[in-house]
Structure 1
Amino acid sequence: MHWYHGIVGCVYLAFILVASCKVIIPNELPLIQEVTTTLREWSIIWRQLYVVNNREMFCSVRHMIYDLIEWRSQILSGTLPQDELKELKKKVTAKIDYGNRILDLDLVVRDEDGNILDPEQTSTISLFRAHEIASKQVEERLQEEKSQKQNIDINRQAKFAATPSFALFVNLKNVVCKIGEDAEVLMSLYDPLESKFISENYLVRWSSCGLPKDIDRLHNLRAVFTDLGSKDLKREKISFVCQIVRVGRMELRDNNTRKLTSGLRRPFGVAVMDVTDIINGKVDDEDKQHFIPFQPVAGENDFLQTVINKVIAAKEVNHKGQGLWVTLKLLPGDIHQIRKEFPHLVDRSTAVARKMGFPEIIMPGDVRNDIYVTLVQGDFDKGSKTTAKNVEVTVSVYDEDGKRLESVIFPGAGDEAISEYKSVIYYQVKQPRWFETVKVYKLWTVCITIKHLIMCWVFSSFFFITAKDKSEKIFALAFVKLMRYDGTTLRDGEHDLIVYKAEAKKLEDASTYLSLPSTKIELEEKGHSATGKSMQNLGSCTISKDSFQISTLVCSTKLTQNVDLLGLLKWRSNTNLLQQNLKQLMKVDGGEVVKFLQDTLDALFNIMMENSESETFDTLVFDALVFIIGLIADRKFQHFNPVLETYIKKHFSATLAYTKLTKVLKTYVDNAEKCGITDQLFKAMKALEYIFKFIVRSRILFNQLYENKGEADFRESLLQLFKSINEMMSSISDQTVIVKVRALQVSILTLLLHPKPQLGGWLKCMIVYLKLCMEILLPTMTDQLKYHLERQEDLEACCQLLSNILEVLYKKDVGPTQRHVQIIMEKLLRTVNRTVISMGRDSELIGSFVACMTAILRQMEDYHYAHLIKTFGKMRSDVVDFLMETFIMFKNLIGKNVYPFDWVIMNMMQNKVFLRAINQYADMLNKKFLDQANFELQLWNNYFHLAVAFLTQESLQLENFSSAKRAKILNKYGDMRRQIGFEIRDMWYNLGQHKIKFIPEMVGPILEMTLIPETELRKATIPIFFDMMQCEFHSTRSFQMFEKEIITKLDHEVEGGRGDEQYKVLFDKM
């Protein structure tokens, strides 16, 4: 009679219906399922942490569990917008991965959308790379958490340094300052070590009643200082500077308003805050309000920049409760990213104060045509007066006809454009120093007029000068031409301007002055002295002995300061110089080229398109394109890679470029051995990735326009190009060695694996030609790989190329790949195996090479394994050597895995591939090395030790895992111990008369296998002991060797804690 034991007691078997297990498919999102599973797994560990009184870890896990529960509820609510849902998913997966790591759980690998990768649908190479990425991300998160606990954000600086641009967000909460009149509050970033401003001003106009003049902006005084880059991040110090300029009377203490001139800009004071800690991430709280103490000017002739430097040098400021309240936060990304990722901080109403000058990366579409004009200093003669003049400088902009341009001057972000800018007035200073900067929106001629206010500090004088039209008088003017005679812009830097004496009759016509020299350098070039102390006449105008300096900084993506680059950009104006301009382009400084990257590329392809019937300029345009791509490949300009990618996707439009680029590239390859060609071909090979992207994008655009017209010609041109590359790779010439190495590193196959989604169109197009490419290039590439691997040369490049080849061959949309896998197997499998064997475990490439080897084995079909033996020909010893090498390598890799213990998916994938390979090689043993004449004892012995090592490895011992992990492994891979155990049993019985050769040596390994607590495995393998006894008895009429060995080994295993009651029962029973 049979009974079942249940909750209520024993129940007779006849009353029980045994139902089959039902598989329930949840309706929840995969991420919700993952969160639920994770919470269940963590809750068990959480309880254990409480039991062992690990309070710190207990609290950490509690916070993570609460976060996941909250986020799970938000996702299930279905009320989140798509962008917020996407961000929340990132937070959830990051939290799960981080928690798994600190709890020593398995690493989870995901795709770009955060979904868990299915190892059955993912190539081995992709799986390996996903593990590398996931492991690196978790490690960075661990470092961030560690840094936060120590109040040192080590990784933050590295993170922002890797970000092309970032911005400082500022929210002005209040200005607590007794001014008494209207004021301008000018905020900017300042480098104290260089004593210069690095950003535009953020301007807030403040009323005398203590509120913003624009009352609608109350509680919304926000700005972002953008375009900051990694160089700014590395500055030793950065200060946030606020200058307060009073706008009103000349002297604040005079209350007789009838006598006063109004609207004058007078220095009032500054407030300075060191924001280096915020930039470095030590302070990162957008809600924390910072108080910036206010320092008033000591006298009315104190220069504001001097006061700024004094405040920075001082340890503390006697602010008397006056100052500014602000919040600050560092934000990664450009203005478009910031508006998208931080909409609660930055919206369309937020003022944008740009860096003075270009950002480190200039994206296509970021069109600028600005100039920053800084009023530096002047020296003005007192004349017949006993006191110095009160000097006000006004700046206005004129075109080449002398007409003033309206609303083109920007005094600061957040304010409207103006037509005339007025400087701060310092009281009776002979040599004023302003350091005031304005931005001119269009590059025309800046005309600067200097006005003298006939003012005196005596009160009665004020009354006199407030009479109509007597409040101010223009006494001199200066100007500068921003466009040079050769079409380039004014050079950046300081300029010593000529100061002309103002004459009333000529002031009405600005064109009178605009034809004259504007700087002292120009004056000297025309043979006049610029150092005389007395006045000089120039034409009908008089040069004053006063001096005035400004500095300019051109920030234009349309106008350049380089003559050679300008010649190319304006190539249509003089086509006779086109050849020279193309050659000169390759001598232009890289920094200037990347600033005008889009316009330069447009010019090159326009030249190509407008000369489509001629080949005159094709090679020069190709060389120029290679030069530009080479620039961007340089570490100095590597951040411009996204710019080039964006250009190809959104701005490139040359539909016929593919024919010319293909033809020139083929010409170079065909003439690789010619003198002078090798160097240029090497550069072209370095640029090959982007050359092919241009070719394919051009062809896609042509197809869209002409509906696949000329498809056969395009295929033929590619075929001929691949053949030429193939012939070059097969060449034995020493001149082409460097080129061939580079070709391997940037193989065309590598181009097919670009992971960025924006390249999906060209990738799909290129896959059409993949089979053609494979047929031509694969044999040559495998030969080259074999050559370099056998000599241990360029291992990293070889591994990268082989990985990419295997990755391409795994794709389902590339057609049949059996022949291609066969080529790789024949030429590279054994070479890769030997590379792995020779490589130490501390090598950085060991994981990559093992992944390559595993990928080859995984992509081999039964046909390939059968064909593998044939490749060795009739040399039986070669087959033996190959199998011996493989068995020893597998055993070493199983015993000392190259991957971390938490790379469970990668390790299980490797085990699955190894198991199949072991079984395939076992068939070879049965077919080739089992009969009496061909039996190989050592080969069989290595097989058994490998199989037992595989079965007993720690990563397959399911009883040591949690129930959830055990269920996942059984569902995905089954119990591989049982599979290999049954194979060991069958192989043992296949030995026949050769069994005695393995007694007693195999008793220990078989015993170790039977001790695995898996019932079916034990039932299948314990009978092997009885077979051993029988075998020895038939041979020697005793089983003393077996008896002695099993007792010794069994004692050793039991003393080590192995064995259980079930084993004892089964061993006795069987």
Structure 2
Amino acid sequence: MQLFSTNLIFSAQYTFDDPLPSNDNLPRLELFIGDRICVYGQHGEWGFGRKFDEKNGKCGIFPLSYVQIVQKSMFVSTSDGYLVVDEISRIINEWWTKIKELMQEGTTIGSFEDLMESFNELLIVKTKIESGGIPIEELSKLRLRVSKLVDRGNTILHLDVVIRDDEGVPLDVESLSLLRTYEAHISSQKRVGSLLVGFSREKSYLEEKKYFLQRSKPENVTLNDSFSLLLSIKSVELHCKYSCEISITLYDLEKKMFTTDCYTFLWNAGSGKHADLNLKALFTDFAKEDIRKKYLMVTRVVHVAPIESSNATMRKHGHETVVPKNFYCRQSYASDIMEMSSIFLAGFIHEAKERVIFLNRETELPIALKSYHATHRIPKNLSNDMETKLLISTQLVPGNVSQIKARHPHLFSRSPAVILRRADRTAVSIEDTRNEMYITLMQAELSGKSSDRNIEARLHVVESNGNVMDNVFETISVTGSQLSTVYKSIVVYHTDKPMWAEPIKIVLPASASHDVYLRILFYSKKSYDKPSQRKDHSQLLIFN
């Protein structure tokens, strides 16, 4: 028999409850999908081991084809964290079994709400540790918190008190002497007694604080009025030879405006499909009255590339080897609009709902929005490439940003969610100072041209003395806020009436003068056919 290291953990992929093929009275280990197995040895196609969660459980044989090896690093970041996760899983199962027994007997559970709070907090801690990246200091604090929650719940359910050391780690009673076990038991009883008093005081303080918070708010506003939309980008599949910017924002149909910050992330050329992205964006500041409003989720893909050459020789030899980067510009590649009514009306669901966004390669976004306003139907083109798509998930989360951070810390641990605020909210808190302006570059009419051009708009914020203000255009990306001095629009081909429908956010410093102007220059962009004759014609538009 080949022996395995006890550090190897396997996971059951199938249920195994069939009788063994031989009649040698060998012990059989029944498996259920999801069971974690500690395998001690192997002989041929059979393994010998026990279930990981049953420390004193029986050992038996089972087919190795029914299990798959799993590394501990898939669950937690450290071995200490793994022990905490293992204790939480075991305690939750014990609590749930005890709760079902008491309910079947018709026994009233005292402090049931407190027990459920401990239950939910343990699940949050478990998820946070499993996400990885927990520092040792924070893990020690989480272990102590878990020990307090476990002792509190065990006392409420009249279960045995766990004997622990000063750091909250459970002790192995069998390895202790009788006197040491008795001392540890007395210490645990005192700890639990003082713990219950502390929880009682903490609860009274929180209830009192909540009461005064509610008294200080208007009667028509409660803590449950606000909610946020959590968007997760799971994977992206594009087939483009140039890098792309993918942006997602929400559009208010009644106000006919983009109503939130725009979330932007990059897709690298030649990668084809980005799987397991796990990018999260949190659209905040929604209220109850927003549930029945009509919103669209607008997705736009812009590829940063040179303008296609009109010269056959240049096209034959390929642009990518000869065109300098400074000739690259933002050009529309694909877009999509999706109704949000079903997501908002579904309310707060436990699990996020996944959906696939098939991007439209033919209809431009401004035309699609205009068509929707006229027909109230989303234009879909049957000739679209079905391989240009995004996999996303959406979920409504109750509470404002501070409440969500407290209740769902795992959203802000590894790959933290980017917070996107409303563009149409005028009322902000005292702590939240905003000196911002949201504009939408819609369309222009540039007459007097002898021929249609490729139009690019460049925006600057200018002070009254003519100086251009630095770092005022904000883009919200995966890493947070990115500032730039100039905003370059998408290039619109062969027209003197370009349409963009681009949302732009301007963030002004607190020291900014009141006399601030927005300068828009319109450039005629050409391909790299004849660089010696290339000139950027421009027109100027300034408004205060």
Alignment TM-score, normalising by the size of structure 1: 0.30
- Residue 332 (structure 1) aligns with: 398
Deviations 1:703-753 (A, max 9, x none): xxxxxxxxxxxxxxxxxxxxxxxxxxxxxxxxxxxxxxxxxxxxxxxxxxx
SS at match of 1:231: helix
- Residue 353 (structure 1) aligns with: 420
Read off the aligned partner of 2:472 and give its amino acid letter.
Answer: V
Structure 2 contact 228–283 (Cα < 8 Å) conserved: yes
SS at match of 1:340: helix
Q: Which one has more relative contact order, counting CA pairs under 8 Å at least 6 apart?
A: 2
**Cα 1:356/1:472, change in 2 over 3 Å:** farther
**Which residue among 287, 294, 300 is the counterpart of 1:229?**
287
* Partner Cα separation in structure 1 for residue 240 and residue 156 of structure 2: 51
Structure 2 contact 366–500 (Cα < 8 Å) conserved: no
* Residues 1:371 and 2:437 are matched in the alignment: yes
- Residue 403 (structure 1) aligns with: 467
- Residue 958 (structure 1) aligns with: none
**Which residue among 304, 307, 311 is the counterpart of 1:247?**
304
How far apart are residue 185 of structure 1 and its match? 0.6
Bigger mean CA offset, 427-436 vs 308-317: 308-317
* Partner Cα separation in structure 1 for residue 262 and residue 120 of structure 2: 44
SS at match of 1:380: coil
**Cα 1:48/1:271, change in 2 over 3 Å:** same
Structure 1 contact 182–247 (Cα < 8 Å) conserved: yes
- Residue 267 (structure 1) aligns with: 332
**Which residue among 529, 532, 538 is the counterpart of 1:463?**
529
**Cα 1:48/1:345, change in 2 over 3 Å:** closer
* Partner Cα separation in structure 2 for residue 353 and residue 48 of structure 1: 47
- Residue 538 (structure 2) aligns with: 475
Trace 1:515-914 onto structure 2 (pairs within 5 A): none
How far apart are residue 418 of structure 1 and its match? 0.9
How far apart are residue 366 of structure 1 and its match? 0.8
How far apart are residue 308 of structure 1 and its match? 7.0
**Which residue among 431, 441, 449 is the counterpart of 2:507?**
441
Deviations 1:214-252 (A, max 9, x none): x9x9734222112223332331x2222211112112238
- Residue 932 (structure 1) aligns with: none
* Residues 1:419 and 2:482 are matched in the alignment: no
Identity %: 18
**Cα 1:433/1:90, change in 2 over 3 Å:** farther
* Partner Cα separation in structure 1 for residue 481 and residue 152 of structure 2: 38
Long gaps (5+) in structure 2 = 1-93, 127-139, 158-195, 212-219
Read off the aligned partner of 2:437 and give its amino acid letter.
Answer: I
- Residue 46 (structure 1) aligns with: 104
How far apart are residue 410 of structure 1 and its match? 1.0
**Cα 1:353/1:94, change in 2 over 3 Å:** farther
* Partner Cα separation in structure 2 for residue 208 and residue 394 of structure 1: 25
* Partner Cα separation in structure 2 for residue 196 and residue 168 of structure 1: 18
Structure 1 contact 172–221 (Cα < 8 Å) conserved: yes
Structure 1 contact 248–263 (Cα < 8 Å) conserved: yes
**Which residue among 267, 271, 277 is the counterpart of 1:210?**
271
**Cα 1:306/1:90, change in 2 over 3 Å:** farther
**Cα 1:374/1:307, change in 2 over 3 Å:** same
Q: How many residues align?
A: 365
- Residue 458 (structure 2) aligns with: 394
* Partner Cα separation in structure 2 for residue 37 and residue 410 of structure 1: 49
Deviations 1:144-173 (A, max 9, x none): xxxxxxxxxxxxxxx998635322121212
Bigger mean CA offset, 162-171 vs 289-298: 162-171
* Residues 1:166 and 2:237 are matched in the alignment: no
Structure 1 contact 203–415 (Cα < 8 Å) conserved: no
**Cα 1:113/1:92, change in 2 over 3 Å:** farther
Structure 2 contact 295–341 (Cα < 8 Å) conserved: yes
* Partner Cα separation in structure 2 for residue 206 and residue 412 of structure 1: 15
- Residue 179 (structure 1) aligns with: 240
* Partner Cα separation in structure 2 for residue 160 and residue 83 of structure 1: 33
* Partner Cα separation in structure 2 for residue 450 and residue 278 of structure 1: 40
How far apart are residue 288 of structure 1 and its match? 4.1
**Cα 1:474/1:350, change in 2 over 3 Å:** farther
Structure 2 contact 292–344 (Cα < 8 Å) conserved: no
**Cα 1:281/1:393, change in 2 over 3 Å:** same
How far apart are residue 48 of structure 1 and its match? 8.1
Alignment TM-score, normalising by the size of structure 2: 0.55
Deviations 1:658-686 (A, max 9, x none): xxxxxxxxxxxxxxxxxxxxxxxxxxxxx
Structure 1 contact 226–354 (Cα < 8 Å) conserved: yes
How far apart are residue 202 of structure 1 and its match? 0.2
Structure 1 contact 171–327 (Cα < 8 Å) conserved: yes
SS at match of 1:172: strand
Deviations 1:1022-1058 (A, max 9, x none): xxxxxxxxxxxxxxxxxxxxxxxxxxxxxxxxxxxxx
How far apart are residue 41 of structure 1 and its match? 9.6
Structure 1 contact 270–304 (Cα < 8 Å) conserved: no
* Partner Cα separation in structure 1 for residue 281 and residue 375 of structure 2: 24
* Partner Cα separation in structure 1 for residue 502 and residue 435 of structure 2: 20
Read off the aligned partner of 2:543 and give its amino acid letter.
Answer: V
**Cα 1:428/1:281, change in 2 over 3 Å:** same
SS at match of 2:327: coil
Structure 2 contact 348–396 (Cα < 8 Å) conserved: no
Structure 1 contact 397–446 (Cα < 8 Å) conserved: yes
**Cα 1:271/1:42, change in 2 over 3 Å:** closer
* Partner Cα separation in structure 2 for residue 114 and residue 441 of structure 1: 45
Structure 1 contact 169–222 (Cα < 8 Å) conserved: yes
**Cα 1:475/1:317, change in 2 over 3 Å:** closer
Structure 2 contact 292–341 (Cα < 8 Å) conserved: no
SS at match of 1:344: helix
**Cα 1:286/1:322, change in 2 over 3 Å:** farther
* Partner Cα separation in structure 1 for residue 156 and residue 258 of structure 2: 39
Read off the aligned partner of 2:277 and give its amino acid letter.
Answer: H
CA RMSD of aligned residues (A): 5.1
**Cα 1:373/1:92, change in 2 over 3 Å:** farther
* Partner Cα separation in structure 2 for residue 220 and residue 183 of structure 1: 18
Read off the aligned partner of 2:230 and give its amino acid letter.
Answer: F
Read off the aligned partner of 2:463 and give its amino acid letter.
Answer: D
- Residue 388 (structure 2) aligns with: 322
SS at match of 2:461: strand
* Partner Cα separation in structure 1 for residue 120 and residue 466 of structure 2: 67
SS at match of 2:277: coil
Structure 2 contact 372–379 (Cα < 8 Å) conserved: no
- Residue 31 (structure 2) aligns with: none
* Partner Cα separation in structure 1 for residue 520 and residue 534 of structure 2: 16
How far apart are residue 433 of structure 1 and its match? 2.4
* Partner Cα separation in structure 2 for residue 87 and residue 312 of structure 1: 52
Structure 1 contact 160–230 (Cα < 8 Å) conserved: no
* Partner Cα separation in structure 2 for residue 86 and residue 340 of structure 1: 18
Long gaps (5+) in structure 1 = 1-35, 50-60, 96-110, 131-158, 456-460, 482-1070
* Residues 1:279 and 2:344 are matched in the alignment: yes
SS at match of 1:376: strand
Structure of larger gyration radius: 1
How far apart are residue 42 of structure 1 and its match? 7.0
* Residues 1:297 and 2:349 are matched in the alignment: no
**Cα 1:268/1:315, change in 2 over 3 Å:** closer
* Partner Cα separation in structure 1 for residue 492 and residue 520 of structure 2: 17
- Residue 779 (structure 1) aligns with: none
Structure 1 contact 391–450 (Cα < 8 Å) conserved: no
How far apart are residue 393 of structure 1 and its match? 0.8
